Amino acid sequence: MRAAGFRRYGGPDELVLLEHPPPIPAAGEVLIRVSAAGVNPADTHLRAGHLRRFLRLRLPFVPGCDGSGTVVTLGQGVKGLTVGDAVIAMASPRQGGMYAEFAVLPADQCALAPVVGTLESAAGLPVAGVTALQALRDRARVSRGQAVLVYGASGGVGTMAVQIAVALGCEVTAVASGPNLPMLSGLGAREVLDYTDPAFPDHEGRYDVVLDAVGRLGAPLVDRFTAPGGVLVTMNPPSMLRHASWLLPWTSRRAVTVIARPRRRDLDELVRLADAGKLHVVVDRVYPLSEAADAHRRSEDGHVAGKLVLVTGSPGSPGSLGSLGSLGSLDRSAAGAAHAPVARPSAGGA
Ligand SMILES: NC(=O)c1ccc[n+]([C@@H]2O[C@H](COP(=O)([O-])OP(=O)(O)OC[C@H]3O[C@@H](n4cnc5c(N)ncnc54)[C@H](OP(=O)(O)O)[C@@H]3O)[C@@H](O)[C@H]2O)c1
């Protein structure tokens, strides 16, 4: 099978097409014919070797923490999934493996794909959606009526966080650069703020929950934004350390961090929201697997609007999503997007 991986740590050009034997599912695992894979910042950090002190990878390594596809084979004892099911799946960064035509994962890291939307867009749901859900619901414990500020609202996690907070009954303020603000209003944000506006640093807001998906919020801004008794949620460990060291001892505000865990019940919850029309994946750009290096370059420029997706099937193959005519297209109009039925490619052997 074809996969995009790296033989050594380095820049985006280290990400090349590799030929690998298809993986074989063990007991409790599922073999998935991958239709599309999401691109996440963790993939680029792994490739660059930023995490190698903490995560020892066996090279060559195929990254990819989320994606969508069709169940091909079930390992012994798998319940709740059937061969031919369209699924979404989430891997840990160490597991990776979704930048490939086939991937194996424990069944409890997979869920039936949304009926609404395409497998292409569903590939972008798991990591960003689970991170936002676990950050808001489990770590910040948001409740209906609370004021939530999402900083970095136009990225993968941010677009999910805005919609999940709205679905949980919160009043959401979204912070992003100017061109992305209309998209965020379309996703349900009540107020949108441009961080490039010179007047922005003076914004005074007392939010119950501040979710920082960028990790650049300085202490004075956190102090100005977060209400006494409020919670700051960070997802970049350095920013958590930075804020914990001054927030916890000196103020009534709490700082918590989130490390997203792949959990089937959370994937099911995201699918439920998607099928209810409350959660859309904003697709910034779609690339073929052979252009994974370009996708990493785009991710590393730090201004992805929504999600980057790699299409793993080749045109016309059973695992493909049909015409690749949309490659390179930019679809940021999530709220008004037309949703085609999920493509359910026929199952086949590896
Ligand atoms: N802990 C976990 O389990 C976990 C899980 C997933 C992700 N993460 C981390 O969470 C972060 C966000 O992930 P992601 O997938 O959402 O990334 P992403 O899709 O690449 O989003 C990046 C966003 O950052 C915004 N941005 C860039 N510079 C900014 C600035 N100076 N001020 C405000 N916003 C700025 C951009 O908005 P504009 O284009 O509008 O400027 C862009 O939308 C990453 O650091 C990632 O590693 C952690």
Contact by Cβ (8 Å): 267, 134:
no
Structure tokens at 118: 């395409």
pLDDT tier for residue 172 given thresholds of 50, 70 and 90: very high
Structure tokens at 95: 């597991």
Euclidean distance between CA atoms 91 and 310, whole angstroms: 16
Could you tell me the distance, in angstroms and rounded to a whole number, from the CA of residue 153 to the centre of ligand 1? 8
For the cut 90, the answer to whether the pLDDT of residue 347 exceeds it is no
Using alpha carbons, select from 163, 20, 186 the residue that is nearest to residue 99: 20
Provide mean pLDDT across the span 4-11.
98
Average pLDDT for the chain:
88
User: What backbone torsions phi and psi does residue 235 show, to the nearest 5 degrees?
Assistant: -130, 0
Give all domains of the chain, ordered by start, each with its CATH number: 2-125+281-336 (3.90.180.10), 133-257 (3.40.50.720)
For the cut 80, the answer to whether the pLDDT of residue 333 exceeds it is no
Euclidean distance between CA atoms 142 and 56, whole angstroms: 35
Helix (H, G, I), strand (E, B) or coil at 270: helix
Q: What is the pLDDT of residue 54?
A: 87
Beta strand pairing call for 86-90 and 110-112? antiparallel
Which of 349 and 231 is assigned the larger pLDDT?
231
pLDDT in tens, 276-311: 999 999 999 999 999 999 999 999 999 999 999 999
Provide mean pLDDT across the span 139-144.
97
Could you tell me the distance, in angstroms and rounded to a whole number, from the CA of residue 207 to the centre of ligand 1? 20
Atom number of ligand 1 nearest to Cα 159: 16
DSSP for residue 2: E
**Nearest CA owner, ligand 1 atom 43:** 155
Using alpha carbons, select from 192, 171, 172, 170 the residue that is nearest to residue 180: 192
Euclidean distance between CA atoms 275 and 165, whole angstroms: 17
For the cut 50, the answer to whether the pLDDT of residue 332 exceeds it is no
Q: Enter the pTM of the model.
A: 0.91
pLDDT in tens, 26-73: 999 999 999 999 999 999 999 999 999 889 899 999 999 999 999 999
Q: Rounded to an integer, what is the distance from CA 110 to the centroid of its chain? A: 15
Length of the chain: 350
Provide mean pLDDT across the span 110-124.
97
Euclidean distance between CA atoms 94 and 99, whole angstroms: 13
Q: What is the pLDDT of residue 334?
A: 38
Q: What is the pLDDT of residue 248?
A: 62
Could you tell me the distance, in angstroms and rounded to a whole number, from the CA of residue 345 to the centre of ligand 1? 32
pLDDT in tens, 180-229: 999 999 999 999 999 999 999 888 889 999 999 998 888 888 888 999 99
> By percentage, how much of the chain surpasses pLDDT 70?
87
Q: What is the pLDDT of residue 222?
A: 87
Q: What is the pLDDT of residue 247?
A: 67
Euclidean distance between CA atoms 155 and 281, whole angstroms: 11
One-letter amino acid at 279 equals: L
Structure tokens at 284: 């910034």
Q: What is the pLDDT of residue 337?
A: 35
pLDDT in tens, 234-250: 998 777 777 776 666 66
Q: What is the pLDDT of residue 242?
A: 75
> Minimum mean pLDDT among 31-45, 95-109, 135-149, 191-205: which range?
191-205
pLDDT tier for residue 163 given thresholds of 50, 70 and 90: very high
Q: What is the pLDDT of residue 252?
A: 80
DSSP for residue 82: -
pLDDT tier for residue 346 given thresholds of 50, 70 and 90: very low
Contact by Cβ (8 Å): 320, 35:
yes
Could you tell me the distance, in angstroms and rounded to a whole number, from the CA of residue 1 to the centre of ligand 1? 32
pLDDT tier for residue 273 given thresholds of 50, 70 and 90: very high
Euclidean distance between CA atoms 91 and 304, whole angstroms: 21
> By percentage, how much of the chain surpasses pLDDT 90?
76
108, burial (CB in 10 Å: exposed 0-12, middle 13-18, buried 19+)? middle
Which own/partner pairs from 56-59 qualify as long-range (CB within 8 Å, at least 24 positions apart)? 57/94, 59/6, 59/7, 59/8
Residues with a CB atom less than 6 Å from ligand 1: 40-42, 127-128, 131, 152, 154-158, 176-177, 180, 195, 213-216, 235-236, 258-260, 299, 302-304
DSSP for residue 156: H
294, burial (CB in 10 Å: exposed 0-12, middle 13-18, buried 19+)? middle
